[in-house]
């Protein structure tokens, strides 16, 4: 089965990681080969605080889980041959149907059957093996009154995908192979990426998922099949089969005015069967039975697997994008000008390499996963839930269980309960269990112990305030920051100047637009050593902030919106390579700060050393490196620009990060060693042409760094949690690049 979703190497991404959950990151000394910026005045021994405040209330809680765990129980002792789907008829909950890739549909009744019988056998006309075979089945919504059942299978050499209706001649007990009526035929240029799932939507139309035609990288045509509208490959199709003699085009399809597409596509004129496009291989997808949302798992190429929330006319990016990341953007016409919809969730190939779409849970079990989308991976056997309430940007799902199954499909009973189809032959029921001993995030900020019990706008007395030299761009918001250390524990300073924090630490940040608090974020190191982020949304009255799980985008009025990052996005930003706690590093805190507790201004390093929280101690702040404010007047243009890139880019673009580029934007890295200067883009030029470079010395107009900073589409940097370009930052980086005469 490993060959049925073939993988080919993914070209490296250009800039995949300006992130938005923190400010500043990583190591800090002076950029190699550059003059140091002005250092602070020598420490005079004065401290902004007299003593370390006692912190009895603000400590990290145990890491929360999804609220439920799942377990799998054998649904039936029967075994099947290469099963790829499990379903019931719309109006009969007594029978189950198992679609086998070999061309046979088996059926059984009850929960403890001793045998299964054949519902239909078309193995004589099915070409199976690899990704070919009988791949999908859909009962007519009025079955057996309307006695048709639709099957999706591959046939012949040359290979075609065929959607056919078969009728029952015995009241629905079986299907008669001799009654086949071919509805739709699609030529397949390769033997993989055949899609094949079919289902009736809540609108009564038949939906058909088709892969891009196979091979690797969607090589067919200038645009690939995914982006080409003159083929039915790489698409979600929708047709009206109410007339048994001939399918019709639903009038609301995006290209409904055109004539039906021939099996091999055509040279001009969009195919009217198209509902949505830009898919690589939507192997399994489903409708939410409560609201009709269409959820699809689209199998990735070499790095990313994705979950898409599919809408009418949407373009889901392939082959321009793999997941939320550039793939063949520069080599595919229309990528830079088209409106591409990023996935709502994605995971990389460290967790699995072949997504299997599932269902939104709508069953009767008592679980916090009610209404959540569950899906899995064929190769790794993992099952995840997507927990976000809204999806302004892609995000990381929550793993529920790691199995040894090859998950070829999920099934949903008429009662809403969910099942797992194991390609090895078994069927498993999903059971939801309450989690014992898991942490629970307080619902209200006032319940966290990190703010005043009488005024949640104020920090608890045990928190230590701080500020940074080079703040992260957060759509123009003002920020206030605090550290909450566990009693008796302190901060360790690495040889590179980066700081690490003990388990139990909480880092708190307030975001203000003018005088209005919008969000409070808690980023904490849980007792087990793992880091996690929590976002609290302030009410209009400014009296309380409430936990917002999964991320969201809110309208703040006056034409302004605000993105609340999800838990997964916080960890995308606070990377492990950068030490998680961004901004807390020696060169960032070597500055003067006015402490509200005493109204004294003092150097932050001097103050933290005085209250005994730094190891090793810093006796004299004037001997330590200091980073300039990118928007300030001190430091050279180059130093301020490099401080900006350090804060906004280096948490992802540095050695050891998961971002698949060799860029290194740390402040201490020489310009030539960033691997960005005069470097040809790895994944397209975004329309800049052959002179495009990541950083083009002397030409900000030809520099992708500037181009990405100055946009907020699928090619934007940061790629998440920002809606507004930083015009001052764009100006700074542009002026710096224009001033460069070389990479030395």
Nearest to 318, CA basis, from 276, 380, 286: 276
- DSSP label of 36: P
The tokens of 317 are what?
């990016």
Q: Indicate the angle between helix axes 637-649 and 727-739, nearest 10 degrees.
A: 130
When pLDDT is cut at 50, 70 and 90, the band that residue 235 belongs to is very high
Average pLDDT for residues 351-377, to the nearest whole number? 93
Average pLDDT for residues 235-259, to the nearest whole number? 97
Task: For residue 101, count other CB atoms closer than 10 A to its CB.
Answer: 28
Distance, in Å, from the CA atom of 447 to the CA atom of 711, rounded to the nearest integer, reads 39
Percentage of residues of the chain with pLDDT beyond 70: 90
Whether the per-residue pLDDT at 262 is higher than 90: the answer is yes
* Contact by Cβ (8 Å): 282, 301: no
Average pLDDT for residues 538-558, to the nearest whole number? 88
Average pLDDT for residues 5-21, to the nearest whole number? 32
pLDDT in tens, 295-306: 999 999 989 999
When pLDDT is cut at 50, 70 and 90, the band that residue 718 belongs to is confident
Whether the per-residue pLDDT at 8 is higher than 50: the answer is no
- In this prediction, residue 418 carries a pLDDT of 98
Whether the per-residue pLDDT at 380 is higher than 70: the answer is yes
Average per-residue pLDDT in the chain? 89
Whether the per-residue pLDDT at 503 is higher than 90: the answer is yes
Whether the per-residue pLDDT at 65 is higher than 70: the answer is no
When pLDDT is cut at 50, 70 and 90, the band that residue 577 belongs to is confident
When pLDDT is cut at 50, 70 and 90, the band that residue 438 belongs to is low
Cβ-Cβ contacts under 8 Å for 480 (sequence gap 6 or more): 465, 509, 510, 512
Q: Cis omega (within 30 of 0) on the bond before 368?
A: no
Whether the per-residue pLDDT at 414 is higher than 70: the answer is yes
When pLDDT is cut at 50, 70 and 90, the band that residue 14 belongs to is very low
pTM summary value: 0.58
Average pLDDT for residues 701-713, to the nearest whole number? 92
Instruction: Please say whether the dihedral angle defined by the alpha carbons of residues 485, 486, 490 and 494, taken in this order, is positive or negative.
Output: negative
CB-count burial class (<10 Å; 0-12, 13-18, 19+) for 126: buried
When pLDDT is cut at 50, 70 and 90, the band that residue 307 belongs to is very high
Lowest mean pLDDT of 22-36, 195-209, 486-500, 585-599, name the range: 22-36
- In this prediction, residue 568 carries a pLDDT of 65
- Side by side, the strands of the sheet bearing 294-298 are 282-287, 294-298, 304-310, 345-348
Between 21 and 292, residue with greater pLDDT: 292
Whether the per-residue pLDDT at 44 is higher than 60: the answer is no
Cβ-Cβ contacts under 8 Å for 243 (sequence gap 6 or more): none
Specify the 3-state DSSP secondary structure of 47.
Answer: coil
Q: Give per-residue burial for 511-544: e unless 16+ CB within 10 Å, then b.
A: bebeeebbbbbbbbbbeeeebbbbbbbbeeeeee
Whether the per-residue pLDDT at 450 is higher than 60: the answer is yes
- Side by side, the strands of the sheet bearing 614-615 are 499-500, 491-493, 614-615
Distance, in Å, from the CA atom of 149 to the CA atom of 66, rounded to the nearest integer, reads 38
Average pLDDT for residues 594-607, to the nearest whole number? 96
């Amino acid at each position: 089965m490993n060959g049925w979703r073939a993988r080919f190497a993914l070209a490296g991404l250009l800039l995949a990681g300006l992130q938005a959950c923190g400010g500043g990151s990583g190591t800090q000394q002076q950029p190699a080969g550059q003059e140091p910026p002005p250092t602070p005045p020598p420490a005079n021994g004065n401290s902004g605080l007299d003593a370390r405040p006692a912190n009895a209330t603000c400590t990290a809680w145990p890491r929360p889980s999804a609220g439920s765990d799942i377990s799998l129980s054998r649904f039936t002792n029967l075994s099947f041959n290469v099963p790829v789907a499990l379903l019931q008829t719309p109006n009969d909950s007594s029978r189950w149907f198992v679609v086998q890739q070999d061309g046979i549909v088996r059926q059984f009744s009850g929960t403890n059957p001793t045998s299964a019988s054949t519902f239909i056998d078309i193995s004589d006309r099915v070409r199976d093996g690899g990704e070919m075979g009988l791949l999908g089945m859909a009962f007519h919504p009025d079955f057996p009154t309307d006695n048709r059942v639709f099957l999706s299978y591959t046939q012949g050499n040359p290979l075609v995908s065929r959607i056919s209706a078969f009728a029952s001649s015995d009241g629905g007990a079986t299907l008669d192979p001799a009654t086949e009526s071919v509805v739709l035929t699609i030529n397949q240029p390769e033997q993989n990426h055949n899609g094949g799932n079919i289902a009736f939507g809540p609108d009564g139309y038949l939906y058909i998922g088709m892969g891009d035609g196979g091979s690797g990288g969607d090589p067919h045509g200038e645009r690939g099949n995914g982006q080409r509208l003159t083929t039915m490959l790489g698409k979600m199709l929708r047709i009206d089969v109410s007339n048994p003699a001939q399918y019709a085009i639903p009038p609301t399809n995006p290209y409904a005015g055109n004539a039906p597409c021939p099996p091999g596509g055509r040279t001009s004129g969009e195919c009217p069967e198209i509902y949505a496009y830009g898919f690589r291989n939507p192997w399994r997808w489903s409708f939410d039975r409560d609201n009709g949302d269409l959820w699809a798992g689209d199998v990735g190429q070499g790095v990313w697997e994705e979950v898409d929330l599919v809408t009418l006319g949407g373009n889901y990016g392939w082959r321009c994008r793999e997941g939320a990341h550039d793939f063949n953007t520069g080599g595919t016409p229309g990528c830079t000008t088209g409106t591409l919809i990023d996935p709502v969730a994605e995971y990389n190939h460290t967790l699995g390499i072949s997504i299997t779409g599932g269902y939104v849970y709508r069953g009767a079990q008592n679980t916090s996963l009610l209404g959540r989308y569950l899906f899995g991976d064929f190769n790794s056997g993992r099952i995840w839930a997507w927990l976000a309430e809204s999806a302004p940007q892609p995000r990381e799902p929550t793993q529920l269980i790691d199995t040894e199954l090859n998950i070829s499909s999920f099934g949903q009973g008429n009662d809403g309960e969910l099942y797992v189809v194991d390609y090895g032959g078994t069927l498993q029921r999903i059971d939801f269990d309450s989690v014992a001993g898991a942490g629970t995030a307080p619902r209200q900020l006032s319940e966290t112990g990190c703010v005043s019990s009488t005024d949640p706008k104020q920090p608890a007395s045990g928190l230590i305030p701080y500020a940074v030299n080079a703040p992260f761009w957060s759509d123009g918001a003002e920020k206030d920051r605090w550290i909450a250390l566990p009693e008796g524990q302190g901060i360790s300073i690495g040889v590179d100047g980066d700081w690490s924090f003990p388990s139990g630490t909480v880092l708190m940040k307030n975001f203000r637009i003018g005088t209005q608090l919008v969000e409070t974020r808690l980023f904490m190191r849980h007792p087990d050593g793992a880091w996690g982020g929590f976002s609290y949304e302030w009410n209009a009255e400014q009296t309380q902030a409430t936990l917002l799980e999964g991320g969201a985008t809110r309208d703040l009025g006056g034409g302004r919106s605000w993105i609340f990052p999800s838990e997964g996005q916080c960890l995308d930003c606070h990377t492990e390579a950068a030490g998680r706690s961004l901004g807390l590093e020696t060169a960032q805190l070597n500055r003067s700060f006015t402490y509200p507790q005493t109204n004294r201004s003092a150097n932050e390093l001097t103050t933290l050393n005085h209250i005994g929280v730094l190891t090793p101690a810093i006796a004299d702040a004037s001997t330590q490196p200091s980073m300039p404010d990118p928007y300030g007047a001190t430091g050279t243009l180059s130093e301020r620009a490099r401080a900006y890139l350090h804060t906004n880019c280096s948490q992802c673009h540095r050695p050891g990060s998961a971002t698949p580029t060799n860029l290194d934007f740390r402040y201490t890295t020489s310009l030539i060693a960033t691997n960005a200067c005069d470097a040809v883009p790895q994944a397209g030029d975004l329309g800049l042409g052959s002179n495009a470079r990541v950083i083009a010395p002397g030409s900000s107009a030809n520099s992708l760094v500037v181009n990405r900073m100055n946009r907020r589409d699928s090619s934007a940097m940061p790629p998440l949690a920002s809606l507004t370009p930083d015009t001052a930052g764009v100006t700074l980086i542009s002026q710096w690049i224009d001033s460069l005469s070389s990479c030395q």
